[in-house]
């Protein structure tokens, strides 16, 4: 099954005529994603890779039945693109764009939630249900269809983890990049709830990083609500104290958000934490051996 997106998802690409939009539209089509339309205001009537370009996303919904959006729009215009998608009735909005002002995102996330849509990102590699569809920029060839759900705050770490899982024979049900900005549309818990209900998902890998308290909150939810095995890796274990690192979301403040805090919280709730990233695949075989057969 996978969660949120599958082979029946009809995708519209916002910003399809731009360099990034065109390139990744080509990559998504090659993977098998069902892209039904693109949107670039003022360029309606054109075609990109055979995909019709429209002026409004509402037309993509009304004419082609689009229910998911992938956004490649520059930061000043990305909030309006997300708002337009939610207002048009899009169910899943994936915003690849990074560098969107935090104040703009606060208002945007509030509106999207009010509309009942799911926002993945911004500053995300997207979401993929291997063998079915990918909505984003992740390399499709490292993924393998199977029973492990992956949720990550880091795009590139997602690729490393997925590659290790695939190499040891553990396929994935759905892999999601939450996004690296301070304000993102969904949390670990949002997707853990979906994985809990998904019969195909037999276990979950959670990839966190320093900053915030999302991992600690997820640990509590996992112990109380999730009846599937979970393992985790926390990036930033060697981050110098007081140094601002990497993602805008990876900011330690108020004495909270350190890697050690997250690791201890996860372990205290019975979750296996991998300290050495190079051992993740091997550890996953042990953690999931009883619940997920190799594919």
Residue numbers annotated as active site: 247
Question: Which residues, 6+ apart, have CB-to-CB distance to 292 below 8 Å?
Answer: 146, 147, 148, 170, 202, 203
Place of tokens 């370009």: 53
Q: Which of 283, 279, 158, 179 is nearest to 230 (CA)?
A: 283
Three-class HEC string of 85-138: HHHHCCCEEEECCCCCCHHHHHHHHHHHHHHCCEEECCCCCEEEECCCEEEECC
Distance CA 215, CA 202 (A): 20
Buried b / exposed e along 164-173 (16+ C-beta atoms within 10 A): bbbeeebbbb
């Amino acid at each position: 099954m996978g969660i949120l997106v599958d082979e029946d998802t009809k995708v519209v690409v916002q910003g399809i005529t731009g360099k990034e939009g065109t390139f990744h539209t080509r990559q998504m089509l090659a993977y098998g994603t069902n892209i039904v339309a693109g949107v670039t205001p003022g360029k309606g009537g054109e075609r990109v890779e055979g995909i019709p370009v429209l002026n409004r996303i509402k037309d993509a919904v009304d004419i082609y039945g689009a229910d998911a959006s992938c956004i490649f729009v520059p930061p000043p215009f990305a909030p309006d693109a997300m708002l337009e998608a939610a207002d048009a009735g899009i169910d899943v909005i994936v915003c690849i764009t990074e560098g969107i002002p935090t104040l703009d995102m606060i208002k945007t996330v509030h509106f999207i939630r009010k509309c009942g849509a799911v926002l993945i990102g911004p500053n995300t590699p997207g979401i993929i249900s291997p063998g079915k569809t990918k909505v984003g920029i992740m390399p499709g060839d490292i993924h393998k269809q199977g029973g492990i759900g992956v949720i990550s705050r880091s795009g590139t770490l997602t690729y490393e983890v997925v590659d290790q899982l695939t190499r040891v024979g553990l396929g994935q049900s759905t892999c999601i990049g939450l996004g690296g900005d301070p304000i993102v549309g969904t949390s670990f818990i949002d997707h853990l709830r979906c994985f809990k209900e998904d019969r195909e998902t037999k276990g979950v890998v959670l990839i966190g990083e320093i900053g915030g308290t999302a991992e600690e909150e997820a640990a509590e939810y996992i112990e109380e609500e999730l009846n599937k095995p979970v393992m985790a890796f926390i990036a930033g274990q060697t981050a110098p104290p007081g140094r601002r690192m990497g993602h805008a979301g990876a900011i330690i403040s108020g004495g909270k958000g350190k890697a050690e805090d997250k690791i201890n919280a996860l372990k205290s709730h019975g979750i296996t934490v991998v300290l050495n990233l190079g051992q993740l695949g091997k550890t996953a075989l042990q953690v999931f051996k009883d619940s997920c057969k190799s594919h």
